[in-house]
Structure 1
Amino acid sequence: MPLFGGKKNKSKDNIADSVGNSTTSSTTRPDVDLPASNGTAKTEIPKNEPPPPVRPKLVFHCQQAHGSPTGIISGFTNVKELYQKIADCYDMDVGQILFCTLNTHKVDMSRLLGGQIGLEDFIFAHIKGQPKEVEVTKSEDALGLTITDNGAGYAFIKRIKEGSIMDTTPLIAVGDHIEKIDGKSLIGCRHFEVAKMLKEIPKGKTFLIRTVEPMKSGFSFVAQASGKKGSSSLGTGKQTLRISSKGQAKVEEAEEYVSVAVDKINGLLESFMGINDTDLAQQIWEAGQSKDNPHDFAMAIDNSELQDFGFTDDFVFDLWGAISDAKSGRLTKPDVQEFNEQF
């Protein structure tokens, strides 16, 4: 959380001494500067300011997906802090956490923790398991992968297209963290950087990919804590905690049309770029929700950190179509296009 600070006000005792030693006999108003006894300094009477509102302390329950006691975490404002809180809770290195799912211990990519957590959600942390190295020949233009990341430095496989090269490659599976390609470490890389590297591998080349799968066990029962898992005053089931890499976490009311828009944008990201990122989709939505035309939307992207993704003009226009459809009410359900990225 950001720290707020400033100059300290002088104590009331010092203020009283200053007033008592002053040669001014008239009654002073609270906002008037008074001369000090030596005539060289001024003392300000502090104004009475209301204390800042008390923010509710949100508490979430978590477990390690392969089995563990239930932990309690709170006090995080972004994804990296959330991972650190989980690591501290279980006294382990934060680098052991690959990704988190909500309300299921299974490697279910539809339940990945992204930029939002429902106030009633139960968090499951998937921990590093068996490393694997496989030689892959890029015999076609497309490998058939959709890449996402955990927001804390690990990119992993979100989806494998049926019948693709990776679908027929032994050992590679959904949920695997892509750790290295040809010996080059990808730890700390974003998903779009990993997707770009895979796309740039020439057709016909054989490369070595090292992945790390989530830890597995015969764990079949997860005992969630009873009762509400969020703040008792906020746990309506429709509110979420919005977290991002920058800024302060905040509680928001879930609006259906926003969720539909974000799902649509995320589908476009997956279809055309081979990446999946709900938080990125939310950023794109926020960049366009107040804009009236595609030109202003394109300018907003060019003048923000989104320009680093190098979106083409056609892709920006498709994104604007999803945003305008959502704002006008024409977008009523997610319309995720079939994955066809060539990398």
Structure 2
Amino acid sequence: MSRNAGIELQELRTVSPRKQAYHCQQAHGGITGLISGFSDMKELFQKIADYYDFPVEEILFCTRNTHRVDMKSLIDSELYFDDFIFVHQKRGEERSGTDSVLGLTLTDNGNGYTFIKGIQKRSLIDQSKEIQIGDHIEKINDKSLVGLGHAEVVNYIKSIPTGNKLVMHLVEPLKTLDDVINCAMKRINGLLYDFIEIYDAELCEMRCSPTIISLLKLIRLYIHDNNHFLNPFTANKLYEITLGKKNPNELAAAVDSCELEYFGFTDDFLIELWGIVSDAKEGRLVAAGAGQDNAN
């Protein structure tokens, strides 16, 4: 179907809800759902929140066809019939920064949340690890910005007198698989063996989803048993290939026909990988993880 066969969400406020169903998944992992019956961004967010049974206020933004925090894939006013929706939620932790906001590009999700879309290179904020693309600006100097569009937030920032202290309270999205691996790998110059020694504490600190934790534990076991090194791109490639396959045979064929063949992954490893991702899609992984945690 043509990519031009899409809908402008902001222009559908006065027409009947959309009957087209879209596949949807939480960006940090979980079951795949079908979302329909919405005519604008607020209704889309509410439908997603109702399906996954969490407050709509937890949604920061949605991306099309990728689970990454990719502002080029941001869903703001248009959906195509074949788009796959990934919903990004609050991590539930606030961080504060006092850097100048010069060099930030802001946008909003159409439902009252403004977040950082871009950071100018070589700016003060570009050098800070405390402020990242995708972070929701919840407050500035104790003034709540929830409910405001990004233009209103920009105007408020400009109204603050030069030289006055500016404190931003930020809420970041839940981490995805590649976020976690990249974060640790940057600190240890690319050696996953070193990453293995610290990743348990890192995962606890980042409050990662059961899907990510299970995948990384599987990778750790494989490295110990087979004396291989994996970089974050390899791990993320495995994850993405698995998501798009219907059965373990398709997964094995896909791995054997791409650059991952070099690593010589065993059939047992691929079967375990398939099982973890399948359990996550069906919601079984969360329940199983909870049971194990209680048992321990």
Is 1:200 aligned to residue 154 of structure 2? no
1:80-159 correspondence runs (5 A): 80-138=42-100, 143-159=102-118
Is 1:178 aligned to residue 140 of structure 2? no
Contact 2:99 2:125 in 1 (8 A): no
Shift of 1:197: 1.4
Q: Distance in 1 between matches of 2:146 and 2:104?
A: 18
Q: Which range moved further: 176-185 or 199-208?
A: 199-208
Q: Distance in 2 between matches of 1:206 and 1:163?
A: 22
Shift of 1:167: 1.6
Shift of 1:207: 1.5
| Structure 1 letter corresponding to 2:130 | L
Give TM-score, length-normalised by structure 2: 0.54
Contact 2:89 2:174 in 1 (8 A): yes
What is the root-mean-square deviation of aligned Cα atoms in Å?
A: 2.6
Shift of 1:206: 2.1
Q: Distance in 2 between matches of 1:106 and 1:137?
A: 26
* Alpha-carbon displacement from aligned partner over 1:58-107 (angstroms, at most 9, x marks no partner): 11000000001101111101110000111111011111110000000000
- Partner residue of 1:298? none
Q: Distance in 1 between matches of 2:148 and 2:89?
A: 19
* Alpha-carbon displacement from aligned partner over 1:267-294 (angstroms, at most 9, x marks no partner): xxxxxxxxxxxxxxxxxxxxxxxxxxxx
Q: Distance in 1 between matches of 2:72 and 2:150?
A: 17
Is the alpha carbon distance of 1:180 and 1:194 closer, same or farther for their aligned partners in structure 2, counting shifts above 3 Å?
A: same
Q: Distance in 2 between matches of 1:213 and 1:118?
A: 27
SS state of the match for residue 131, structure 2? Answer: coil
Shift of 1:56: 8.0
* Alpha-carbon displacement from aligned partner over 1:154-182 (angstroms, at most 9, x marks no partner): 00000010111222233100000000000
Q: Which has the larger radius of gyration?
A: 1
Q: Distance in 1 between matches of 2:163 and 2:172?
A: 26
Q: Distance in 1 between matches of 2:62 and 2:134?
A: 11
| Structure 2 letter corresponding to 1:195 | V
SS state of the match for residue 133, structure 1? Answer: strand
Q: Distance in 2 between matches of 1:201 and 1:55?
A: 41
Shift of 1:55: 9.6
In structure 1, the gaps of 5 or more residues are: 5-53, 227-343
In structure 2, the gaps of 5 or more residues are: 1-11, 178-211, 213-235, 247-296
How many residue pairs were aligned? 174
Is the alpha carbon distance of 1:159 and 1:57 closer, same or farther for their aligned partners in structure 2, counting shifts above 3 Å?
A: same
Give TM-score, length-normalised by structure 1: 0.47
| Structure 1 letter corresponding to 2:57 | G
SS state of the match for residue 206, structure 1? Answer: coil
Q: Distance in 2 between matches of 1:95 and 1:56?
A: 22
Q: Distance in 2 between matches of 1:86 and 1:102?
A: 14
Contact 1:136 1:169 in 2 (8 A): no
- Partner residue of 2:38? 76
| Structure 1 letter corresponding to 2:54 | M
Contact 1:137 1:205 in 2 (8 A): no
Q: Distance in 2 between matches of 1:55 and 1:182?
A: 39
Shift of 1:217: 3.7
Contact 1:152 1:188 in 2 (8 A): yes
Is 1:161 aligned to residue 120 of structure 2? yes
| Structure 1 letter corresponding to 2:72 | S
Q: Distance in 2 between matches of 1:128 and 1:206?
A: 26
| Structure 2 letter corresponding to 1:206 | K
Q: Distance in 2 between matches of 1:171 and 1:56?
A: 39
Instruction: State percent identity of aligned pairs.
Output: 47
Shift of 1:3: 9.5
Is the alpha carbon distance of 1:206 and 1:106 closer, same or farther for their aligned partners in structure 2, counting shifts above 3 Å?
A: same
Is 1:63 aligned to residue 63 of structure 2? no
